Structure 1
Amino acid sequence: MTKMPKQRLHPLILVTYFLSSLVNWFVICFVVMNFHFIKDIPLPQLLGLAATIATATSFAKYWLFTFEVGDQALTINSGLLFRQQRHIPYDRIQTLQTKRWFYMIPFGLKAVVIETAGKSGDDGDAQLPMVKDAVYQELLQRQHFAAAKPEVPSVSLATGEASQAASYKINSRDLNEYALTSLGLAPVILALIYGYTKISDLVPKPWLSLAVSSVQHAEWLLLAMLVLGLLILGTILSYLQLMIRYYGFTVTRQHRQLLTERGLFQRRTVTSDLDRVQAIVVKQSVLRQLFQLATVQTVLASTLSDDEESEMVVMPVLRTDQVWTVMPQFLPWLPTSQPVITAIPWLGQWRMIRNAVAVAMIPVVGWVIVARATAGWSLLLPVIALFLGRYAGQHTGIGLVADYLVAQEGSLFSRTLTLVPKKRIQAATIPQSIWMKRVGLAHLAVSVRSGDAEKKVTVRYLPLQVARQYYEWYRA
């Protein structure tokens, strides 16, 4: 591979820099307008000064930002007042991500985010905010070449050789099933309620009192229609959010590289080496269990820059019986059949129910003390907690597949199955309280690397001898 000359970002980045800087300077002007030595300056002149400074700083920032795709590493020079040079060897790159807004498509541009092994919080991100697609492709090839070494041994492969390419693109039916079976309705409804409280502060009090009085004298049918309307609106918003986010989702595996791409208004791609995969997670909400659907994610050794998710989604929705036949094409060390899970004993399940109900009783007691007249509604909380605890207990278990630990957890009507290679486990512990010791129960907690932190997988209320058995398996 030949060395590429020193380059600058695409000139279109000047528009982004200018708008961002202009907003910042407008805010500064708004803050300092009340100072005696500033308030005498006419507002048009003050805003013109802000625009001039924003233009100057934008051009300076553009000119001082350079990067060089070298033979062994990527070098980035940036900084306006404080110059910074970042040197990133290709073998230290954990993942390559791109973000592509719709206005960048006609120019063939992308924003490239480089996640490194030395990442610490957001400071470990190296970014090329606007470059040609050829730059991304060159970085991708150099990362793949630098990381070339034997693949992670697989448990078994679905078909063919481990190096065989595989590709999948979500269709309209699967995307609709994924969006319609999401449990994202609850946060949307909370957002609507929060929005109502903010709007109610702006509405004149007489109008609000009239509206409340009208509702109080309305028929129950009208109230039911209002609640139903809120649920329908929340469902539509949740549905649209997921449709926009996962529009055109594709996953491709080429040799040891795994690439996902998604998004309607902003296309996002994540490219990672299979060696960076620390664990595989199969998630099912109670609704998706009913329809026999599952979501497959991977835990990576780097932190995704996308704030919406902490794990890389490899397959948004898939039939449960296809997880172990289709996914090994993309993740070659997955088993080709459903792992056998040993459930925790009834004694452990009972403790999960007891804990859930005990926590739910705390707000019930407060409700009774503060508003005794309406405290009857609070009794719904322990009833819901009882079902939550029962669900968690029934869907908690543990198992082994060759050199891979299989841990299943149930929480908030969602079942999560995590498959961790033994060599990826960073630590294993057996927490046990004095009350658990009396009945011979214990937790088993294993930690794997997840970005610059750790992900802890805990199987609760196992028989002590079972927990020790798995602990010794890890130590062996």
Structure 2
Amino acid sequence: MICKPRRLSPAAILFFFYKDIKNLFIPVVIFAFATFKQARFWTIIGLVAVFILVIVGDLVKYMTFSYQFFNREILVRKGIFVKKVNHIPYDRIQNVTVNQWFFLKPFKLEELEIETAGHSEGPEVSLVAVSVTLKEELNNYRKQFKATVTTGEEEDDAEVSNSQSYAITWRELIKFSVTSPAFLSGLLVVLAIYGKAQHSISKQMYVAMAKEFSHLGWIVVVVGMSLIILIFYLISVFALIARYYHFNLRMENNQFEMQYGLFKTKKTSISQNRIQAVVVKQTLLRRLLHIASVKLVIISNSQKENTEKDIIVMPVIETAKLQPFMRKFFPSIPVNNCQTITANVGTYYYDLRNAIIFSLLTDLLIGLFIFRISFILNISVVILSAIFWITPAYLNARRAAVTVMDDKYVFLQNNYLTSKNSYYVPKNSIQLLERRQSIWLSQKRFAHLRLSCRSGIGERNLKVKYLPQSQIDSVIVWYKKDSKFR
């Protein structure tokens, strides 16, 4: 079956224009500020010329872009002077992502991104402003292709065709949103903008502002700053609720399908064979509220949004539902075999010893500058540095663990700042397993372990430190078993 070449919707011109303006915005603004005072007329002419060139380029891009479905592949043609033809076999397609902004819903249009097993930086094909039925049509072509390749695969699909689904509740979503520190990033952006703009503020303005603040009093200033923080916090809460609105996870035919979003509905399909590890993440506050997030470490080409980190397969779930969820969507992972490992006394000793040393060095360096200023300030520095260094060290020691689950999976747990990360890693995803041990640790029978697997377009290194050598050696033996270097 071969369909005729198709064009994108005319709305694609607006998408092309938006992306071009977004890329050109900063250099155009710099050009305008640099030349407007000296040559206003030519600045305006230049801006109009850029605008016209962008419009013409987007029209040409739209007219020369087409896609076509064949029995074995999808063919994408684009370009006028340099014509590019992209052949994408159906069996190479790994991830399919659908983005639909709210203003596209009335027109039944969406953006379709297709990733393959290649290593390009981004999706191989991005079909903007196409019909909402195109993804289903693409899936039908892929199923027909699989059916023609092998008859045995059809039977395998029948075994896994029983779909599983899970949707987060409003209670879980609200807990997740109100415990997110995302608002801090907004404050950092504002401070960064202020840092760049402060050189353009005159000293007279600083003096005038200082006088105004002195009349208002410190209480009013503190209240004002608190209101600013509260506004950023409420905005971040609303943004997270809008982002993961009606989050629904579905698994069928070895594909994870996620759909979520209020203003921008996002639909993502991920092939199970791209999954390198499953991660359960809990911040300290979310651990107290008994909620967690489930993420996937995957092979991906895209460097946008979450794919440069981990794919969130379930943004929030109550810990009481976690094991049933894992058994339902990841039946190959023997979560029942994962026994809690009590942290070793030696692990606490090494982590806390290092933290105390760093804390004392911090006190010494800062104390050299402030020891004559105030005794209370010195005590405050000592307390804060102890909290800063010792708290993460204690959590590192308490949460560091690694154990073999069965012949196929290993469980690794570590701590990052105050986040507890639990990794379920299959043996075939591990690219490197390294044991590190100094001569002093060798005498005490302790060692470090580094596990490396692919993540995005790079690699992910999972580390645990100061564990008994027997635990790490058991993982090394497990990894070598039935492998090529045994």
* TM-score, L = length of structure 1: 0.86
Task: Show CA shifts across 1:54-78 (max 9, x none).
Answer: 3332221111112222211122222
Residue 126 (1) aligns with residue 125 (2)? yes
Letter aligned with residue 297 of structure 2:
V
CA distance in structure 1 between the aligned counterparts of 2:107 and 2:67, rounded to whole angstroms: 20
Match of 2:113 in 1: 113
Residue 391 (1) aligns with residue 369 (2)? no
Q: Is the 8 A contact 2:146 2:153 kept in 1?
A: no
Match of 2:451 in 1: 446
Match of 1:378 in 2: 381
The structural deviation recorded for 1:286 is 0.6
Match of 2:249 in 1: 251
Task: Show CA shifts across 1:296-345 (max 9, x none).
Answer: 11112224453245222111111112111123322232335472132441
Query: SS where residue 430 of structure 1 aligns?
Result: strand
CA distance in structure 1 between the aligned counterparts of 2:271 and 2:179, rounded to whole angstroms: 31
Letter aligned with residue 346 of structure 1:
V
Q: Is the 8 A contact 2:101 2:264 kept in 1?
A: yes
Query: SS where residue 63 of structure 2 aligns?
Result: helix
Q: CA RMSD for the aligned pairs?
A: 3.4
Residue 415 (1) aligns with residue 423 (2)? no
| Aligned counterpart in structure 2 of residue 436 of structure 1, from 441, 453, 463 | 441
CA distance in structure 1 between the aligned counterparts of 2:438 and 2:218, rounded to whole angstroms: 50
Match of 1:140 in 2: 139
CA distance in structure 1 between the aligned counterparts of 2:232 and 2:113, rounded to whole angstroms: 33
For residues 85-234 of structure 1, what are the structure 2 equivalents within 5 Å? 85-122=85-122, 125-143=124-142, 162-197=160-195, 205-212=203-210, 221-222=219-220, 225-226=223-224, 228-234=226-232
- Aligned pair in 2 of structure 1 residues 49, 430: CA closer, same or farther (>3 Å)? closer
Letter aligned with residue 389 of structure 1:
A
The structural deviation recorded for 1:386 is 0.6
Residue 61 (1) aligns with residue 66 (2)? no
- Aligned pair in 2 of structure 1 residues 147, 230: CA closer, same or farther (>3 Å)? farther
Letter aligned with residue 7 of structure 2:
R
Match of 1:73 in 2: 73
CA distance in structure 2 between the aligned counterparts of 1:354 and 1:187, rounded to whole angstroms: 32
CA distance in structure 1 between the aligned counterparts of 2:43 and 2:451, rounded to whole angstroms: 61
Query: SS where residue 105 of structure 1 aligns?
Result: helix
Query: SS where residue 133 of structure 2 aligns?
Result: helix
Greater CA deviation, 210-219 or 174-183? 210-219
Which runs of no fewer than 5 residues in structure 1 stay unpaired?
154-160
CA distance in structure 2 between the aligned counterparts of 1:348 and 1:252, rounded to whole angstroms: 41
Q: Percent identity?
A: 25
The structural deviation recorded for 1:146 is 5.2
- Aligned pair in 2 of structure 1 residues 51, 198: CA closer, same or farther (>3 Å)? closer
The structural deviation recorded for 1:120 is 3.3
Query: SS where residue 420 of structure 1 aligns?
Result: strand
Please identify which structure carries the higher helix content.
Answer: 2
Query: SS where residue 329 of structure 1 aligns?
Result: helix
- Aligned pair in 2 of structure 1 residues 355, 264: CA closer, same or farther (>3 Å)? farther
Q: Is the 8 A contact 1:353 1:388 kept in 2?
A: no
Q: Is the 8 A contact 2:183 2:236 kept in 1?
A: yes
Letter aligned with residue 73 of structure 2:
A
The structural deviation recorded for 1:180 is 1.1
Match of 1:327 in 2: 326
Match of 1:158 in 2: none
CA distance in structure 2 between the aligned counterparts of 1:361 and 1:143, rounded to whole angstroms: 62
CA distance in structure 2 between the aligned counterparts of 1:147 and 1:328, rounded to whole angstroms: 28
* TM-score, L = length of structure 2: 0.84
Query: SS where residue 171 of structure 2 aligns?
Result: helix
- Aligned pair in 2 of structure 1 residues 24, 300: CA closer, same or farther (>3 Å)? closer
Q: Is the 8 A contact 1:115 1:125 kept in 2?
A: yes
- Aligned pair in 2 of structure 1 residues 457, 28: CA closer, same or farther (>3 Å)? closer
- Aligned pair in 2 of structure 1 residues 222, 425: CA closer, same or farther (>3 Å)? same
- Aligned pair in 2 of structure 1 residues 465, 318: CA closer, same or farther (>3 Å)? same
CA distance in structure 1 between the aligned counterparts of 2:301 and 2:4, rounded to whole angstroms: 30
Which runs of no fewer than 5 residues in structure 2 stay unpaired?
482-486
CA distance in structure 2 between the aligned counterparts of 1:456 and 1:361, rounded to whole angstroms: 30
